[in-house]
Structure 1
């Protein structure tokens, strides 16, 4: 499998990445200057979204990957409104008000991180070199337990400035992954190279042949869970992870797959994985079964 990764660093996506986190409860480890500068603008953006009747979760789902392609703030607002509410909404005054909130957010972020672009450019090389050294082997073993069709032919890797000590998201609809550009492995027992492989392995699970009978709002979670046992197996095979040292529950917690219930959910996923290894059901059926099992 020849996978082409297109690497990019993006300060605008970094800004939105920070805003998504700061719109909720800011991690205690964040700098006070960043919180004070960005959190009010992030909350103003959420207020504008609510006025426009845009669910914030849906906004982030589209805005974060699209921001790597669209630098214009009103342009991004229109694109998201078109995705969530249709063409008429994208031409309404809401696009201007949301675009204004995005501009304020961008200015606030730049005021506290004026050298964000320079800092981000330094963060590509360590992860890219680690991926080029270990990624092909990781994917080779991953494809021994998952269908090769789970992997796309090409994918974008969007690196953002860290705000939570390591975090990543697969944007299935946009064939891209967003990853905090760490200079080191925040969890040495589960390196960032493995996280990147896990994110990439999720990207094709929204294809109709796998997901047409799963609620679209649940596909992301199903993709995260279905690929997790396979990536742990592959990471052990290439000696990224010491055998038996990282459980499914550990991985769920370290990679923030869910916020609570790691142990119980891990038991369900492990049972599902063992059943699939034995029965070798078509993956469409297997993913539907996992969807039902997690309720």
Structure 2
């Protein structure tokens, strides 16, 4: 395995990251400035997205990783429309209304966080240094229990300003991941460098050889859950997590994998993992089995 990470600090993705979170119920620890300035603009953006007959979840799935590649609001709106609704719609009036809402959102975010670039540049170093020191060992033990092909050769790490005190998402279709760049570990018992390893381990699960039996919309959740027992094992092996101190249910809660039902979900994943350890089914079969167990 020869994993290469490309690190990015991205103010535009930070803006959309905040908008995704604040378009719903604001976290208790969200800053008042973000809530005041960004939440109304985020809600207006979602209104325009829904007028274009795009589910907000699908919009964010493309807009967030794409924003790290393109800064133009009209360009981003057009590409997302093309990916979600088709070529004809990408040139419709919806492109102008969504790009206008994106432009308003950018202005609102700049008002709330005027020094976003300076803040991001300060936040990259702690996580990158932690990864360079501990990441290779983490990946070594991860590959003892997961297929080596789960780990891509190249991945982009998109760092964004925190909104909710630590959060991360793997963008499987774009071979990238997005993480709130924390200056400290918000959960010392489960360090952020472990979260980074967990997100990386999900990125190749959408390959047809692993996911052909799973509905595309369900692949991200299956990937998140299937890799969780493995990353906790690897983290214990390299002494990033003290053995027996972080349960699957606690990891689900701390990393916001699910909003509720952590114990029941952890029981399903544990049962699946133990079965896979004993039976060693082909991974595409095993992942499809987890998908069925999730219902």
Residue 91 of structure 2 corresponds to which residue in structure 1? 91
Shift >6 Å, 4+ stretches: none
1:177 maps to: 177
- Residue 71 of structure 1 corresponds to which residue in structure 2? 71
CA distance in 1, matches of 2:54, 2:230: 36
Mapping of residues 188-207 of structure 1, within 5 Å: 188-207=188-207
Measure, in 1, the Cα distance between the counterparts of 2:231 and 2:31: 33
How large is the Cα RMSD of the aligned pairs?
0.5
Distance in 1, Cα, partners of 2:256 & 2:91: 37
Q: Distance in 2 between matches of 1:267 and 1:93?
A: 48
Q: TM-score, normalised by structure 1?
A: 0.99
| Counterpart Cα distance in 2 of 1:148 and 1:230 | 12
What secondary structure does 1:289 align onto? helix
SS at match of 1:177: strand
Give the aligned partner of residue 249 of structure 1: 249
Aligned twin of 2:148: 148
**3-state DSSP of counterpart to 1:28:** coil
Deviation digits for residues 63-102 of structure 1, max 9, x if unmatched? 0000000100010000100000011111111001100000
| Cα distance in 2 for residues equivalent to 1:168 and 1:160 | 9
| CA distances 1:164-189 after superposition (whole Å, capped 9, x unpaired) | 00000000000000000000000000
Aligned to 1:226: 226
Q: 1:50 & 1:66 partners in 2: Cα distance?
A: 19
Residues 129-181 of structure 1: per-residue CA shift (max 9 Å, x gap): 00000000000000000000000000000000000000000000000000000
> Structure 1 residue 40 and structure 2 residue 40: aligned?
yes
The offset of 1:213, in angstroms, is: 1.3
- Render the CA deviation track for 1:192-238: whole Å, top value 9, x for unaligned: 00000000000000000111110111000000000000000000000
Question: Could you say what secondary structure the match of 2:41 adopts?
Answer: helix
Q: How do 1:203-282 and structure 2 match up within 5 A?
A: 203-282=203-282
1:10-38 CA deviation, whole Å, 9 max, x = no partner? 00000000000000000122222211100
Q: Distance in 2 between matches of 1:216 and 1:195?
A: 23
Residue 9 of structure 1 is matched in structure 2 by 9
SS in structure 2 at match of 1:206:
coil
Match of 1:58 in 2: 58
2-side partners of 1:197 and 1:280: how far apart? 23
Structure 1: which 5+ residue stretches go unaligned? none
Matched, 1:287 2:287: yes
CA distance in 2, matches of 1:19, 1:116: 15
1:261 deviates by 0.6
- Mapped to 2, the partners of 1:91 and 1:34 lie a distance apart of 32
Once structures 1 and 2 are overlaid, which stretch shifts more, 58-67 or 29-38? Answer: 29-38
Query: Size of the alignment, in residue pairs?
Result: 295
SS in 2 for 1:233: helix
Give secondary structure in 1 for the equivalent of 2:71. coil
Q: Contact between 2:31 and 2:163, CA under 8 Å: does it hold in 1?
A: no
| Partner Cα distance (1:34, 1:231) in 2 | 33
Q: Provide TM-score, normalisation by structure 2.
A: 0.99
